[in-house]
Amino acid sequence: MENINPKINHSQKKSSQIFLYLSIVLFIICCVLTWRIITFKQEVIQKETIITQVSNDKDLYVLKLENLQKEYDRLGKENTELSEMFLKEKEHVKKLLKKVKSSTGSIEKYKKQVFSLESRLKEYEQQIEQLKSQNKALIEENISIKTALDSTTGENKNLNIINTDLSDKISKGSELVTYDFSASGIISKSNGKEIPTAKSKRADKIKVCFTIGENSLAQARRKDIYLRVAGPNGDVLCKGKSDDYSFTFEGKPLQYSVKDQIDYNNKAVDVCMYWVKTSNFEPGTYYVDIFTDGKNIGSSTFKFEK
């Protein structure tokens, strides 16, 4: 009977165990690598989808703004008496178009401004169509007046009333608009220097700056400007809930964050308004609106990070 060396048998068992451990380790590594590859592919697909959507949105709003420019060119040619006003509106569109084209990320913050400009153009077009229709009626009435000498005085009074109504409709074009809108958190230094920050815990103020556009049709006078800032939860940042901190918008009282006054003389005016922190700012998206003369003349958003 053969003698089996115990040392050799022990060595073989040890080698088998090592091989088994290595196999298990390699299997785990393969599983981890497979999971990482799958996860990485999913992340790449998600990022590519986001990039494609942002690019499509950007192209869409560039096209919308370019169409707005063409429409204002057409309106200016067809209505020479209002060409200067349409030229100024076109400049607002041009500035926003430049911002959208140069944007490298999401253009969500520009969508409301584009919508506002499109709505304003539609209002102009509707008012012009109404004026054309009423002017046609005026011409017909004038012909009738010329053939009825005995009623000339009464007809002229009616014409004056109609012309007054037309003037009222044109006055809708006197509503103010804002552009070059910016809103962010800032850190105020003792030397007066302001440092922008997106960190909610570091910011001690919210700074909102904008330009109220030139408008020769607007009434030149001292105007109240209301800043309304709403936090991520929808609550308005305000000093109190009483009527002392509210204004009327569309027949209803609205709370405001900050009130200021400007002397408006039909020229463009740069305005900056500040909300000083009364409690810690919560992270998330903040919504900013500007009101004057009972109208919302500008809106924007910004975000605070943790």
Residue 120, classed as helix, strand or coil, is helix
Least confident of 133-142, 182-191, 201-210, 225-234: 133-142
Mean pLDDT, residues 156-164: 59
Q: What is the mean pLDDT of residues 167-193?
A: 81
C-alpha to C-alpha distances, 268 to 39, 212, 229, 263, nearest whole angstrom: 53, 6, 23, 11
Q: Is the pLDDT of residue 246 over 80?
A: yes
So what's the pLDDT on residue 1? Answer: 47
Give CA–CA dist 224/294, Å, rounded: 10
CB 203 within 8 A of CB 268: no
In a domain, 187, yes or no: yes
| Domain membership flag for residue 285 | yes
- At residue 252, the pLDDT reads 92
When pLDDT is averaged across residues 158-177 and rounded to a whole number, the result is 63
| pLDDT of the residue at 68 | 77
| Strand pairing report for 252-255 and 246-249 | antiparallel
- 154 pLDDT more than 80: no
For residue 91, tell me if it sits in a domain: no
Give the lowest-confidence range in 2-11, 35-44, 243-252: 2-11
Q: Please give the average per-residue pLDDT across 127-146, as a whole number.
A: 71
Q: Which residue has the higher pLDDT, 143 or 52?
A: 143
In angstroms, the CA 47 to CA 60 distance is 20
Q: What is the CATH number of the domain that holds 250?
A: 2.60.40.10
State residue 207's pLDDT score.
97
Q: How far is CA 219 from CA 128, 176, 277, 285, in A?
A: 21, 10, 34, 35
Is residue 64, in this structure, part of any structural domain at all? no
pLDDT of the residue at 275: 97
Residue 192 above 90 pLDDT? Answer: no
Q: What is the mean pLDDT of the chain?
A: 80
Contact 120, 177 (CB under 8 A): yes
Instruction: Tell whether the torsion through CA atoms of 32, 37, 43 and 45 is positive or negative.
Output: negative
Q: Which tens digit of pLDDT belongs to each residue from 248-287?
A: 999 999 999 999 999 999 999 999 999 999 999 999 999 9
Domain membership flag for residue 7: no
**Least confident among 47-51, 245-249, 283-287:** 47-51
The three-class DSSP label of residue 88 is helix
Between 142 and 299, the more confident residue is 299
Does 245 map to a domain? Answer: yes
Residue 200 lies in domain:
178-304
Number of domains in the chain: 1
More confident residue, 54 or 34: 34
Q: What is the pTM of this model?
A: 0.50
pLDDT at 168 (0 to 100): 57
In a domain, 194, yes or no: yes
As a whole number of angstroms, the distance between CA 124 and CA 118 comes to: 10
Question: Is the pLDDT reported for residue 33 higher than 50?
Answer: yes
Q: Which residue has the higher pLDDT, 145 or 166?
A: 145
Is position 271 within any domain? Answer: yes
- Ramachandran bin of 180, using left for φ above 0, alpha for ψ from -120 to 50, beta for the remaining angles: left
The residue-averaged pLDDT of 69-94 equals: 78
